[in-house]
Amino acid sequence: MSSIFLYIYSSAIKKVIHLFVARSICFFVMATGQLFSRTTQALFYNYKQLPIQRMLDFDFLCGRETPSVAGIINPGSEGFQKLFFGQEEIAIPVHSTIEAACAAHPTADVFINFASFRSAAASSMAALKQPTIRVAAIIAEGVPESDTKQLIAYARANNKVVIGPATVGGIQAGAFKIGDTAGTIDNVIQCKLYRPGSVGFVSKSGGMSNELYNTIARVTDGIYEGIAIGGDVFPGSTLSDHVLRFNNIPQIKMMVVLGELGGRDEYSLVEALKQGKVQKPVVAWVSGTCARLFKSEVQFGHAGAKSGGELESAQAKNQALRDAGAVVPTSYEAFEAAIKETFEKLVEEGKITPIKEITPPPIPEDLSTAIKSGKVRAPTHIISTISDDRGEEPCYAGVPMSSIIEKGYGVGDVISLLWFKRSLPRYCTQFIEICIMLCADHGPCVSGAHNTIVTARAGKDLVSSLVSGLLTIGPRFGGAIDDAARYFKDAHDRGLTPYEFVESMKKKGIRVPGIGHRIKNRDNKDKRVELLQKFARTHFPSVKYMEYAVQVETYTLSKANNLVLNVDGAIGSLFLDLLAGSGLFTKQEIDEIVEIGYLNGLFVLARSIGLIGHTFDQKRLKQPLYRHPWEDVLYTK
């Protein structure tokens, strides 16, 4: 290097250094020691299950008595989130605002912000303005630089610390960690982060922090505190800010710094070293020396990792740090050896007493993880055979949703899949749809509709009104379809004549289900019954059960004019013909369908349509509270 270039180079460095002197001094006033301890608690903004659980697992690993996450802030939500603290399941409060969370947890002084880059600055500023918050970690990348500058200015003016943006966070070994810092629990254990070591570490890169935690654990007694300041152009705190802090923490005996090309942050550390503000050994490396191999300027991973000239190159920074007294290896490959040599020298000098190794407690494995790895088997709590929502689209009885739409399936087809677990012939599904249409409503005077109307007029919601009507369905109202099918089938299959069947029911004191109507009679039969019978005679292969029901009706009409086959009896007998005639069901399956109550399900499904309609009708008409008239009540002693 020529003498002229050396003069220009050194003069330029001095100018750069002076720009960072004031900033370094400001932080020295702001934070002179540890940021975290074994009692530090945080507020977590924008709920993310995995990083919170990793924090809690780290707490358990370190033997903390209290969880490090005091509360969660999820805008618009309140309540609790269940997570694990060791083997114990705990409920962490969820707050809808930063102000509410800070008021509820006044001892939580760290704000961990997992908001997106769009809202990270505003939420971080809101947190920093709370008197209880001392440190804010901003995880998002790409926070607008103007917003970051405002955060930095506010934090420094109010003696607060900002870590990030674009950071993974930080960690104090054996005490507290931010979010995903250090990665998985296996990595935390491998890096011996469950107990404090003697090394203070600071880096711009979160990913490289994990690598260096491992390296430091191999050649020293581990880290005491590690910080990733973030890779954006304007980090909330600098490398030198944290090195100066480390210098004032007695447990830290040496520092390891990993910088990168781009920006001039490292020069503030150079100035601090030259001014004697750092009395402990500093092992440093600035990555990005390969940038000179490229003919044009190269943008590396971080927004700030972009050389803006010779002074911002990795080579210039490494040389400046070396000249200032830091231990700087000749390459990254030699970084580990330099750290090891510095540590061993401190041990020889008696400045470091190697820490006695401890065995951390095992972290209970999540059931889902253990099942996937084949370590355990666990019984399921629910069995489902009719639908599956685990794939790309839901399936009904194995039929994808897209196929249902593409094939033009109707409501009857969906019912056949979900109720009977098979695709029924078109005449079967059409019959189901006809039943639903014919039974959807029977006017406002029947008990179900009446209950629904009264409830709706009492100001109740749709579900309450619907349920009040559905609860009237039973043996006396709409619930006789199953019984009708059951008795008609038993009598037919046993070969009983209508006379024998009716008289045997009479002796038992049981009315024949599906026979009788309060309004209809021999001369005014239910039109719905006639429509069902006509459809069945046209499309069904066999109507033996329906014909038997008609024969029973002929006998009962000889006893009374209103003992006609009603819609319950028609549907019950015809459904038996559908099941038996389709050839898709065994005798055992048919018996089971009737026994379970499938057929009443048709009436419940159909009548729900009408009851919902009555609810809407009353609310649309703005009908007042219903009171039954006195004149319609017989008052008697």
Is the pLDDT score of 255 beyond 80?
Answer: yes
The pLDDT tens digits for 305-319 are 455 567 888 999 999
The pLDDT tens digits for 538-575 are 999 999 999 999 999 999 999 999 999 999 999 999 99
Beta bridge partners of 474: 477, 478
Query: What integer pLDDT is reported at residue 297 of this predicted model?
Result: 57
Is the pLDDT score of 14 beyond 70?
Answer: no
Average pLDDT value for residue range 408-418: 96
Phi and psi of 84, rounded to 5°? -110, 135
Q: Strand, coil or helix: what is 147?
A: helix
Q: Which amino acid is at 189?
A: I
Average pLDDT value for residue range 153-158: 96
Query: Quick check: 445 and 413 in contact, CB under 8 A?
Result: no
> From CA 535, how far away is CA 93, in angstroms rounded?
61
Is the pLDDT score of 299 beyond 60?
Answer: no
Query: What integer pLDDT is reported at residue 175 of this predicted model?
Result: 98
Average pLDDT value for residue range 621-628: 96
Average pLDDT value for residue range 92-116: 97
Among candidates 484, 494, 514, which has minimal Cα distance to 594? Answer: 484
Is the pLDDT score of 302 beyond 70?
Answer: no
Average pLDDT value for residue range 444-449: 95
Count of CB atoms within 10 A of residue 423's CB? 18
Q: Which amino acid is at 285?
A: W
> From CA 340, how far away is CA 278, in angstroms rounded?
20
pLDDT higher at 261 or 224: 224
> From CA 19, how far away is CA 322, in angstroms rounded?
20
Among candidates 501, 18, 553, which has minimal Cα distance to 270? Answer: 18
Cα dihedral 442, 447, 451, 456, rounded to 10, equals 20
> From CA 574, how far away is CA 587, in angstroms rounded?
16
For residue 203, the surrounding DSSP H or E stretch is strand 199-203
Q: Catalytic residue numbers? A: 302
Beta bridge partners of 530: none
Query: What integer pLDDT is reported at residue 312 of this predicted model?
Result: 84
End-to-end CA distance of the chain: 120
Query: Quick check: 283 and 326 in contact, CB under 8 A?
Result: yes
- Measured CA to CA in angstroms, residue 533 lies from 159, 267, 520 at distances of 86, 94, 17
> From CA 129, how far away is CA 122, in angstroms rounded?
11
pLDDT higher at 597 or 335: 335
Cα dihedral 476, 482, 486, 489, rounded to 10, equals 120
Query: What integer pLDDT is reported at residue 296 of this predicted model?
Result: 53
* Mean pLDDT taken over the chain: 90
Average pLDDT value for residue range 453-471: 97
User: Tokens 């608690």 map to which residue?
Assistant: 41
Average pLDDT value for residue range 498-522: 93
> Residue 26: which pLDDT band, with cuts at 50, 70 and 90?
very low
> Residue 408: which pLDDT band, with cuts at 50, 70 and 90?
very high
The pLDDT tens digits for 367-402 are 888 888 888 888 888 999 999 999 999 999 999 999
Is the pLDDT score of 3 beyond 90?
Answer: no
- CA atoms within 13 Å, Cβ hemisphere of 40: 25
Query: What integer pLDDT is reported at residue 19 of this predicted model?
Result: 37
Query: What integer pLDDT is reported at residue 474 of this predicted model?
Result: 83
Phi and psi of 253, rounded to 5°? -105, -20
> From CA 622, how far away is CA 468, in angstroms rounded?
19
Q: Which amino acid is at 34?
A: Q
Query: What integer pLDDT is reported at residue 372 of this predicted model?
Result: 86
Strand order in the sheet with 161-163: 79-85, 88-95, 69-73, 42-45, 110-113, 135-138, 161-163
> Residue 288: which pLDDT band, with cuts at 50, 70 and 90?
confident
Average pLDDT value for residue range 278-299: 76
Query: What integer pLDDT is reported at residue 27 of this predicted model?
Result: 37
Among candidates 13, 66, 44, which has minimal Cα distance to 113? Answer: 44
Q: Which amino acid is at 588?
A: Q
> From CA 331, how far away is CA 527, in angstroms rounded?
94
Beta bridge partners of 84: 89
> From CA 54, how far away is CA 188, in angstroms rounded?
10
User: Tokens 């059931």 map to which residue?
Assistant: 367
Strand 135-138 and strand 161-163: the pairing is parallel
Percent of the chain residues past pLDDT 90, beyond the cut: 81
- Measured CA to CA in angstroms, residue 26 lies from 125, 246, 249, 511, 517 at distances of 19, 16, 18, 94, 92
Query: What integer pLDDT is reported at residue 291 of this predicted model?
Result: 53
Count of CB atoms within 10 A of residue 176's CB? 26
Is the pLDDT score of 532 beyond 90?
Answer: yes
